[in-house]
Structure 1
């Protein structure tokens, strides 16, 4: 009998039953006041006169009117560079002990995002909220005694000018509470290994000694780790190694493109729970089983705004125009794409995180990530966001009975006009011309803007299949394997030329 598991499960269920009904709109209003109050005496707070904003009749409107949008380059140049240099009280009280390094999906140059003590507390609090939400998933008592594999970046953080730097998953794992270490795998020693391939090999060697009940990490890297464990231990699927595996908490990107290939690694279905832990904070998690949407964490040190994802408001580099309108939580509508804007306890203010989302349930504040502002394919008016591209790839998987966990594309100019040129990561052998035809037909039926573009300057679709591991090698060559690194779904022509040269070199 799972005595400890029953105790933990009983505590979680009792705690959840005592929780009061939430009002996300009121929670957000309180969060904005709290953020402004705490930061009013910082350099940023004095520059934008937070005192006057708090004295206004409508704090949300005054806040939006007084402070411009900030992308990373703008806030780094004007404010965070001073934080990196060690100045105190710049955009948040004090000095942060950590900086999250994030190359994200673009560029080799790492971004440095402040991670304050208040943000670490926010992340821990969000993790606890997610644990409490497990009461909604009716997990058996035995589950709460199993180990959890957290596959993130290395916890061996780099010392720099009195602070530590690393990816947010590594920072979070290096600050887990002592009581959790009993459940945490791969454990401190392996987690500190910086080289991804070496770390995964160590995991594969130790895997049979662990009793893993849950996995947590970005889907692309999780898949590669599971494949290595399966291959090294010469088994058919991961449940032969970890028979008690019941939950996977995905994060960082939409899980849909990986669903088919991920499930192929399992012996039987498990519960997939989506989370939204970005370098800038823990923003949302799935808290009930009858949806794949995630609930925004509206009472945890982050204030959200939403800009309609319309082409006239988004610049080519993913930044927003100055006149782009922002909406608050009480103003949004369901099934509309929005650019997500956050203000946080790490001194991010009206920060364009780079993701687009849509609400599936406004009252519950439940969202889905629909794409990236930089991955909006609008060359010759086709207006395709990542969620529409994901839908098209899922259609290909169903129609052609193949698995395509990775892809990238570009609106590439040829002598006779533009073609959407796709590279599909799959180990299946399929006719490229047939795939292009299926893809083109689906997009014309699913998206009226694409259909119009096809009647004008968009000549058609070209498809190339490459092995799935090429995408991981590209990430390794351009950034770093593992952690928070995500594949760019849409590339500009210059970057795409580098990609095609990389693929051709690998094919030799």
Structure 2
């Protein structure tokens, strides 16, 4: 395997020169990309409706094509799912990525074209390895196998020909991987794509414990469950006793900060690397490109054209949408994309901040609809995760999951925030944990701090410590186990918190 590792790492390094091209010429690459996808889609129903043929620049594009939400796109997508073609994109659409629906209560189905699979998702996976190898040229990750913790897929029942499918984006990618990729990954495809998440964890734990795993890719929450089960089955103290050559965890979907200490206990090695990605149902957007960094390089040549709406514009009828060269550092933007799968000026519901413009690097700051703003405090997911991480660090606590919601003003009672946290290791004093969380929120969010001064509008947060397995059982009850399904971190309603509190009674 040593020779194989040498050959593959050499091949992966070669791609880095292409990455450097868009890093050095971001505006030219994005402008050229916009023209290419408009040209490709000019004869589609959508392209003819907005006369893509005559659009020559970003200003014309944004003045002619409105920003779309998923609800506005759904009539087109439903027709695609029923077997119609050439509506949003000229290539045949046979795959749909099923989103967890975290921006609204129901699942979303995102078309995935052959071009998006090859030039976005697959390219993103290869670039992730290229960037990692560029940072760690002596890596040995190809001396073993990569463990993929993915989801499942099924036949699209809306298609009368049964010729199309939908599933978690990880499952869509796995099902369409080239044959050679099977030689460097584990578990077997049959196991990886099982529908029942509980059975899958058990099968994976038995199967992959016999393999030399050197790298893991997945969502932190489900990866933790798998590692814990393997350690239990093998009667070991930690996963390094099973996989001594484990080198890196490629993670995404949720912020890693609150889970870092738990991973360190499961993988007690100072040489273990944690590498972040920004890969969603709609596309592969960003990759960490520097050691010990929380910034993500915005990937600009994946068939995705980017626009950015300042969050203060979101409630307006005609929000201002900025091109890449118009953004400012440190501001919150909602990300709008046009893609080689036929999403046109689509608001994906994520908010980001730019940390660098040379090259363009970003941090994910939250969701446009995942926040608490019942009292003008505008607490976003990024705030919550920073506060949780600080409270854990200061008290030695380790969390598994959490969610929070407002406590609305009532007669004679002030408002506040109510948190439900499932601890892997509880703090010695929950009051101190609560105080640190509250103080951190006040430090990083001036709006929250203003409402907390002398308890003017908000009292100190209420924190409930949930029993082990609470969130797992809640997700199971909702049919949301596995894949791309994630616990909603924040909600501006009490839907999730009240449901969980009923389970905890």
Does TM, scored on the shorter chain, surpass 0.5?
A: yes
Aligned residue number for residue 285 of structure 2? 283
Q: Structure 1 residue 454 and structure 2 residue 449: aligned?
A: no
The TM-score, its normalising length taken from structure 2, stands at: 0.92
Q: How many residues align?
A: 493
Aligned residue number for residue 391 of structure 2? 396
Aligned residue number for residue 336 of structure 2? 341
Aligned residue number for residue 413 of structure 1? 408
Tell me if the contact between 1:251 and 1:277 (Cα under 8 Å) persists in the aligned partners. Answer: yes
The TM-score, its normalising length taken from structure 1, stands at: 0.92
Distance 1:201 1:134 in 2: 30
Distance 1:380 1:15 in 2: 49
Distance 1:501 1:336 in 2: 36
Distance 1:109 1:383 in 2: 24
Once the two structures are superposed, what CA deviation does each residue of 1:240-297 show, in whole Å capped at 9, x if it has no partner?
A: 1111110111012222222122222103131111111111111121233252321111
Tell me if the contact between 1:419 and 1:458 (Cα under 8 Å) persists in the aligned partners. Answer: yes
C-alpha distance 17-91 of structure 1, shift in aligned 2 (>3 A) = closer
Cα deviation, residue 112, structure 1? 1.5
Aligned residue number for residue 185 of structure 2? 184
Cα deviation, residue 195, structure 1? 0.6
Tell me if the contact between 1:155 and 1:191 (Cα under 8 Å) persists in the aligned partners. Answer: no
Once the two structures are superposed, what CA deviation does each residue of 1:94-138 show, in whole Å capped at 9, x if it has no partner?
A: 430111112232556321211111111121122222222233222
Cα deviation, residue 154, structure 1? 2.0
Once the two structures are superposed, what CA deviation does each residue of 1:307-365 show, in whole Å capped at 9, x if it has no partner?
A: 1122xx335xxxxx322211111111222211111111111111111111111211211
Distance 1:2 1:260 in 2: 32
Cα deviation, residue 497, structure 1? 5.0
C-alpha distance 28-467 of structure 1, shift in aligned 2 (>3 A) = farther
Q: Structure 1 residue 222 and structure 2 residue 227: aligned?
A: no
Tell me if the contact between 1:87 and 1:95 (Cα under 8 Å) persists in the aligned partners. Answer: no
Aligned residue number for residue 477 of structure 1? 477
1:353 corresponds to which of 348, 359, 362: 348
Cα deviation, residue 68, structure 1? 1.3
Cα deviation, residue 18, structure 1? 7.8
Please give the secondary structure, in 2, of the residue aligned with 1:481: coil
Cα deviation, residue 8, structure 1? 2.1
1:101 corresponds to which of 98, 101, 104: 98
C-alpha distance 141-400 of structure 1, shift in aligned 2 (>3 A) = closer
Please give the secondary structure, in 2, of the residue aligned with 1:354: strand
Cα deviation, residue 299, structure 1? 1.0
Once the two structures are superposed, what CA deviation does each residue of 1:205-238 show, in whole Å capped at 9, x if it has no partner?
A: 1233100010001111111111111122121111
Spell out the pairing of 1:259-270 with structure 2 (5 A cutoff): 259-269=260-270, 270=272
2:34 corresponds to which of 27, 32, 35: 32
- Further displaced range: 213-222 or 451-460: 451-460
Please give the secondary structure, in 2, of the residue aligned with 1:307: strand
2:275 corresponds to which of 265, 273, 282: 273
C-alpha distance 497-207 of structure 1, shift in aligned 2 (>3 A) = closer
C-alpha distance 403-347 of structure 1, shift in aligned 2 (>3 A) = same
Please give the secondary structure, in 1, of the residue aligned with 2:302: coil
Cα deviation, residue 493, structure 1? 3.1
Cα deviation, residue 369, structure 1? 1.1
Tell me if the contact between 1:86 and 1:95 (Cα under 8 Å) persists in the aligned partners. Answer: no
Aligned residue number for residue 170 of structure 2? 169
Spell out the pairing of 1:81-480 with structure 2 (5 A cutoff): 81-105=78-102, 109-122=106-119, 123-140=121-138, 142-154=140-152, 160-161=158-159, 162-269=163-270, 270-310=272-312, 313-315=313-315, 321-413=316-408, 415=410, 416-430=413-427, 431-455=429-453, 456-480=456-480
- Further displaced range: 354-363 or 412-421: 412-421
Specify every segment of 5 or more residues in structure 1 that has no aligned partner in the other structure, as ranges. Answer: 316-320
Distance 1:40 1:376 in 2: 38
Distance 1:180 1:225 in 2: 22
Please give the secondary structure, in 1, of the residue aligned with 2:226: helix
Aligned residue number for residue 318 of structure 1? none
- Further displaced range: 344-353 or 184-193: 184-193
C-alpha distance 457-488 of structure 1, shift in aligned 2 (>3 A) = same
Once the two structures are superposed, what CA deviation does each residue of 1:168-215 show, in whole Å capped at 9, x if it has no partner?
A: 110100111111101111111211321111111112212331000100
Tell me if the contact between 1:337 and 1:356 (Cα under 8 Å) persists in the aligned partners. Answer: yes
Q: What is the CA RMSD across the aligned residues, in angstroms?
A: 2.0
Distance 2:499 2:485 in 1: 16
- Further displaced range: 284-293 or 208-217: 284-293
Tell me if the contact between 2:423 and 2:468 (Cα under 8 Å) persists in the aligned partners. Answer: yes
Distance 1:463 1:306 in 2: 35
Cα deviation, residue 44, structure 1? 0.8
Please give the secondary structure, in 1, of the residue aligned with 2:276: strand
- Further displaced range: 172-181 or 4-13: 4-13
C-alpha distance 344-18 of structure 1, shift in aligned 2 (>3 A) = closer
Once the two structures are superposed, what CA deviation does each residue of 1:16-72 show, in whole Å capped at 9, x if it has no partner?
A: 368753311111111111111111111111111212222xxxx11111111111111
Specify every segment of 5 or more residues in structure 2 that has no aligned partner in the other structure, as ranges. Answer: none
Distance 2:18 2:27 in 1: 21
Tell me if the contact between 2:70 and 2:346 (Cα under 8 Å) persists in the aligned partners. Answer: yes
C-alpha distance 504-375 of structure 1, shift in aligned 2 (>3 A) = same
Distance 1:11 1:49 in 2: 41
C-alpha distance 420-173 of structure 1, shift in aligned 2 (>3 A) = same
Aligned residue number for residue 496 of structure 1? 496
